[in-house]
Chain A
Amino acid sequence: GAVVSQHPSRVICKSGTSVKIECRSLDFQATTMFWYRQFPKQSLMLMATSNEGSKATYEQGVEKDKFLINHASLTLSTLTVTSAHPEDSSFYICSATVGGRQPQHFGDGTRLSIL
């Protein structure tokens, strides 16, 4: 149980395009989802917290207009990297939880490369 699916696993696109990453909880309802960014050989950096039906809460220093988050249902959250540039290239990971401080379950991540 507690499976989180993240899609796509790998994206390569040209500078200036927008990229959407999906995060789905397959066998549970996720009241809260989290989006992280991980640079090579570094730890996970929390970008934003997403609650179903409400606006995402972004961490300090994360551009809201650059990283659009939509939590449309209890099983789906999306991260859209708008007008992506090479500096946005990174590994993005989502996690989901039923809430109540239950463990976060992570997706497999998305490797984003902007040329």
Chain B
Amino acid sequence: AQTVTQSQPEMSVQEAETVTLSCTYDTSESDYYLFWYKQPPSRQMILVIRQEAYKQQNATENRFSVNFQKAAKSFSLKISDSQLGDAAMYFCAWQGGSEKLVFGKGTKLTVNP
């Protein structure tokens, strides 16, 4: 079965600094997608970034970028110039051919002013 592991239950960062959230996954499929979702205290799930496994180029969305290492099955999220509004739970997720999302347990990010 596919698994997604987020080894950091909690992380903190100073405002304006950079932080990296880790995610590893296990799969035997070769064609899949990886996601980072943000869940603020309002509990709305917000898509942060999406990576297609067959694309070698790392996805970026403004201050958010990923380091996708397919051979190592690693998919970390880097947040640059952290802002107070970035404070949230961050979930890494994997999607294979079935369209189902498999989520990690999440990392709680605190941004200190």
Contact = CB atoms under 8 A, between A and B. Distances in A.
Contacts of B78: none
B101 A106 contact: no
B96 to A, nearest CB: 9
Contact of A34 (B37, B44, B100): B100
What's the interface size class on A, roughly? 20 to 34
Nearest to A106: B45
A108 B43 contact: yes
B75 interface: no
A101 B33 contact: yes
Interface string B27-63: 0000001010100001111110010000000000000
Interface stretch (B18-26, B80-88, B103-111): B103-111
Contacts, number: 45
Contacts of A43: 91, 103-106
Given A103-B35, A108-B42, A44 B47 contact: no
A109 B105 contact: no
Contacts of A44: 45, 91, 101, 103
A93 B45 contact: yes
A109 B104 contact: no
Interface of B: 33, 35, 37, 42-47, 50, 91, 95, 97, 99-101, 103-106
17 contacts: A34-B101, A42-B105, A43-B104, A46-B100, A49-B99, A49-B100, A91-B43, A101-B95, A101-B97, A101-B99, A105-B47, A106-B37, A106-B44, A106-B46, A108-B42, A108-B44, A109-B44
